[in-house]
Structure 1
Amino acid sequence: MDQHRIFDRNLLRHRRLRALRQHGMTGDFLLARAADDLEERLSAVERRFDVAIDLASHTGLAARAIERSGKADTIVRVEQDARFLDAAFPSIVADEEMLPLKPAGAGLIVSLLSLHLTNDTPGTLLQIRRALKPDGLFLGAMAGEATLSELREVLLAAESEISGGASPRVAPFADVRDVGGLLQRAGFTLPVTDIETYTVRYDSLFALMRDLRAMGMQNILFGRSRKPVTRRFFLRAAELYAERFSDPDGRIRATFSFIWMSGWAAHESQQKPLKPGSAKASLADFLKDVETLEKK
């Protein structure tokens, strides 16, 4: 195994396909929220692009958001497996870590909740920037470091208590400052990053884990333990979750954060960057700093 690989991307594809087959898009409420936010952010861009790429968003929600925004003449989806695709948009089957896009061919590239699961995120961002036309725009969202922080804590605590040691069970997520640095390293001009944070409430740890399975978001770390997980482990983790992260009504909280990033391919007459948090104004009626969603 390559020591630099963190994620088993074949396993990721398998689990996302299984989730799509069993649940359709009903479980992907986070991706649906990101797609709505994408549409809002595109509305702040005062130009139209000839070719837009929806890169590895795996449901078509991002492509439809671009279509609704009216900001692109042609929208092309790129997915790792043909089973994620349909006839609604032109498509390419390719891994986002090895893009087959020609240099300076696309005006807009978007990616929703995918890049944090690449083994070479800097290299992928570099390929994205090279595929953009001069003054082309990249706009994407990836999971931030606060995502599932509560779950990470209680799984580690339960395993340490029961077995005296712990293995990684929740993926490491990026810090917003690091993401800004990655955009600069990849050669984007006018890079901007900001964070949207959501708190989702559940009846229990088990309801949260059902949602994660429906999104294909189980553990895909190469360093994960292969030992069977006992019922005792999950029951103890659920107890710890309820003790540490429950509200007065007994429901537990789960944090999800999106790091939004934008950057432009260099051009002598450079367009102004998106303003941080540009989507927040349209969500002001029900979203302040943190939004709370109710899940059964």
Structure 2
Amino acid sequence: MTASPEATSASSSAPPRIFDARRREARLARAAHRLGQADFLHVRAAENAAGSLEAILRDFPVAVDLSAHSGPFAQALAASDAAGRVGVVASPTSRAERAAPGAAALPLDDGSTDLIVSLLSLHWANDLPGALAQIRKALKPDGLFIGTLFGAGTLKELRSVLTEAELAERGGAQARVSPFADGYDGAALLQRAGFALPVSDVDRFTVRYPDLFALVRDLRAMGETNVLDGPIRPLNRAVIARAASLYAERHGDADGRIPATFEIIHLAGWKPHESQQKPLARGSAKVRLADALGVKEMTGDEID
């Protein structure tokens, strides 16, 4: 999630190139055998997704997992009551495709899939609405998408201390933590991508670490470090030492540990289908709201 300078679009018609796909792929490769050391965020997201499926009493014969790391969802699903209603979960994308969601066409036929899950991957998409639209196209009518991505509050403490430390030591600072979507925009993103019945929720929590270096080790094990596009100026010891000191000073707890905020945006949406419930047309209500609530309707003249 740490980052390099602001990127520019390759062309006026293409979305801005914010993230470097090759750099992201390298981070995923490095994390492939280390995720177990720090998989708690992926496990949390996977258990939430499996819990959502438990509440939906229908079968999903054809299921696809587009997560950056597929293991946590497979394990959470196997341990859930929904396991018998979800078919074999395929992971059809390569590491390169998982590193850059939406950059290339999904290797899925349109209208071929009952369920698509993407956990903690879409925050690396250069074109998030476009990546979501691809997922919607691959779903069968009335097919379900469940996804999670990091939200705007993620690593807010790290973002501030790295910027302040680099400004103090170098007189200028690069962006070091990725921009994340606002959790309150989740349902709107799904609607923009063509999903029906969109649902969005934000899971915000704090993880405590012994120090800044322990936090960075976990981010590396997850594959969640520096993939913003552009040249990277490495942080030197002076900047890192000042950042660690600022973190402890500004945010440290009484026992010397430091908090790191994480925000996970949970998304769910359906491929449109004629059988789905639709809102009533405006003005079609047959009962006044005041009557339904059992209260007296007040006019403007009666309100003090």
Hey, what's the Cα distance between the residues in 2 that align with 1:55 and 1:202? Answer: 30
* Residue aligning to 1:269: 275
Hey, what's the Cα distance between the residues in 2 that align with 1:93 and 1:243? Answer: 38
* Residue aligning to 1:134: 141
Indicate the larger mover: 199-208 or 177-186. 177-186
In the alignment, residue 17 of structure 1 is paired with which amino acid? A
Distance 1:200 1:267, change over 3 A: same
Deviations 1:207-229 (A, max 9, x none): 11111111111111114x52232
**What SS does the corresponding residue of 2:87 show, helix, strand or coil?**
strand
Aligned length: 261
More strand as a share of residues: 1
* Residue aligning to 1:216: 223
| Equivalent of residue 8 in structure 1, options 7, 11, 20 | 20
| Equivalent of residue 214 in structure 2, options 207, 214, 219 | 207
Hey, what's the Cα distance between the residues in 1 that align with 2:260 and 2:155? Answer: 6
* Residue aligning to 2:115: 108
The answer to whether the 8 A contact 1:67-1:75 is kept is no
**What SS does the corresponding residue of 1:221 show, helix, strand or coil?**
coil
Deviation of the 1:64 alpha carbon: 3.2
Pairs within 5 Å for 1:161-200:
161-200=168-207
Distance 1:95 1:245, change over 3 A: closer
**What SS does the corresponding residue of 1:50 show, helix, strand or coil?**
coil
In the alignment, residue 26 of structure 1 is paired with which amino acid? Q
Which stretches in structure 2 are left out of the alignment for 5+ residues?
1-7, 11-15, 279-304
Deviation of the 1:271 alpha carbon: 6.4
Q: Which runs of 4+ in 1 moved over 4 A?
A: 92-95
The answer to whether the 8 A contact 2:196-2:272 is kept is yes
**What SS does the corresponding residue of 2:274 show, helix, strand or coil?**
coil
The answer to whether the 8 A contact 2:146-2:269 is kept is yes
Deviations 1:164-214 (A, max 9, x none): 111011000000222221111111011010101120001111111111111
Deviation of the 1:93 alpha carbon: 8.4
* Residue aligning to 1:79: 93
**What SS does the corresponding residue of 2:36 show, helix, strand or coil?**
coil
Distance 1:222 1:93, change over 3 A: closer
Distance 1:214 1:24, change over 3 A: closer
Q: Is it true that 1:19 corresponds to 2:31 in the alignment?
A: yes
Q: Is it true that 1:156 corresponds to 2:163 in the alignment?
A: yes
**What SS does the corresponding residue of 1:57 show, helix, strand or coil?**
coil
Percent of aligned pairs sharing the same letter: 51
Deviation of the 1:66 alpha carbon: 3.3
Hey, what's the Cα distance between the residues in 2 that align with 1:172 and 1:227? Answer: 18
Q: Is it true that 1:56 corresponds to 2:67 in the alignment?
A: yes
What is the TM-score of this pair, normalised by structure 2? 0.81
Distance 1:67 1:78, change over 3 A: farther
Indicate the larger mover: 136-145 or 263-272. 263-272
Hey, what's the Cα distance between the residues in 2 that align with 1:163 and 1:17? Answer: 32
Q: Is it true that 1:31 corresponds to 2:37 in the alignment?
A: no
In the alignment, residue 89 of structure 2 is paired with which amino acid? I
What is the TM-score of this pair, normalised by structure 1? 0.83
Distance 1:59 1:108, change over 3 A: closer
Task: Tell me the C-alpha RMSD between the 2 structures.
Answer: 2.0
Distance 1:66 1:180, change over 3 A: same
Deviations 1:219-266 (A, max 9, x none): 11114x522321110010001101111111111000111000111111
* Residue aligning to 2:297: none
The answer to whether the 8 A contact 2:98-2:121 is kept is no
Which stretches in structure 1 are left out of the alignment for 5+ residues?
83-91, 273-296
Q: Is it true that 1:96 corresponds to 2:101 in the alignment?
A: yes
**What SS does the corresponding residue of 2:92 show, helix, strand or coil?**
strand
Deviation of the 1:60 alpha carbon: 2.1
**What SS does the corresponding residue of 1:181 show, helix, strand or coil?**
helix
In the alignment, residue 108 of structure 1 is paired with which amino acid? L
Hey, what's the Cα distance between the residues in 2 that align with 1:112 and 1:81? Answer: 14
